[in-house]
Amino acid sequence: MLLRENNSHYLYQTVSDDEGWSWSAPTQTAIWGYPAHLLALPDGRIVCVYGYRAHPYGIRLVVSYDNCASWDVQHILSIRDDLPNKNLGYPSSVLADDGSILTVYYGQDVDGITCIQGSQYFLEE
């Protein structure tokens, strides 16, 4: 599980080995931004999609190739980097039948209207 922390803006990770009955102490990741959503892909990768509340404002994605033991922060992908301000986030992602990922989140449009938005994309293997 990834937890948001409002002072440093880094995500913290905690792990359960007993189906959620107990959790490890949270440890800071190298992922700056929040809030986050995790999605397990059929090939074993875990995708973390999160809000990026600094310029350029948007939604970002980072991948773990080792069951969340580490995150590939050297290769962060911007799903969106054109939102007008930091009033954004709470992404949720699903894997579509065609292998694409659909991520929905809230943000403001260019007129300042807060609304639900979405992006559909493919990840390279």
The answer on pLDDT for 3 being more than 90 is yes
Q: How confident is the model at residue 124 (pLDDT cuts 50, 70, 90)?
A: confident
Asked whether the predicted pLDDT for residue 66 surpasses 90, the reply is: yes
Q: Report the number of distinct structural domains present in the chain.
A: 1
Cα 61 from chain centroid?
5
Q: Are 84 and 76 in contact (CB under 8 A)?
A: no
User: Which residue in 12, 121, 124 sits closest to 60, CA to CA?
Assistant: 121
Task: Give the whole-angstrom CA distance, residue 63 versus residue 26.
Answer: 19
Q: Which domain holds residue 112?
A: 33-121
Nearest-angstrom CA–CA distance, 54 and 77: 15
- Residue 8 is assigned to a structural domain of this protein: no
Q: Is the pLDDT of residue 76 over 90?
A: yes
Q: Kindly state whether residue 112 falls inside one of the protein's structural domains.
A: yes
Rounded to two decimals, the pTM is 0.94
Residue 50 lies in a domain: yes
Instruction: Output the pLDDT for position 11.
Output: 98
Q: Residue 110: is its pLDDT beyond 90?
A: no
Residue 20 has pLDDT above 90, yes or no: yes
Whether 48 maps to a domain, the answer reads yes
Q: Is residue 4 one of the residues assigned to a domain?
A: no
Q: For residue 77, is it within any domain? A: yes
- Give the pLDDT of residue 125: 76
Whole-number pLDDT of residue 71: 98
Any domain includes 66:
yes
Amino acid in position 84: P
Q: Would residue 46 count as lying in a domain?
A: yes
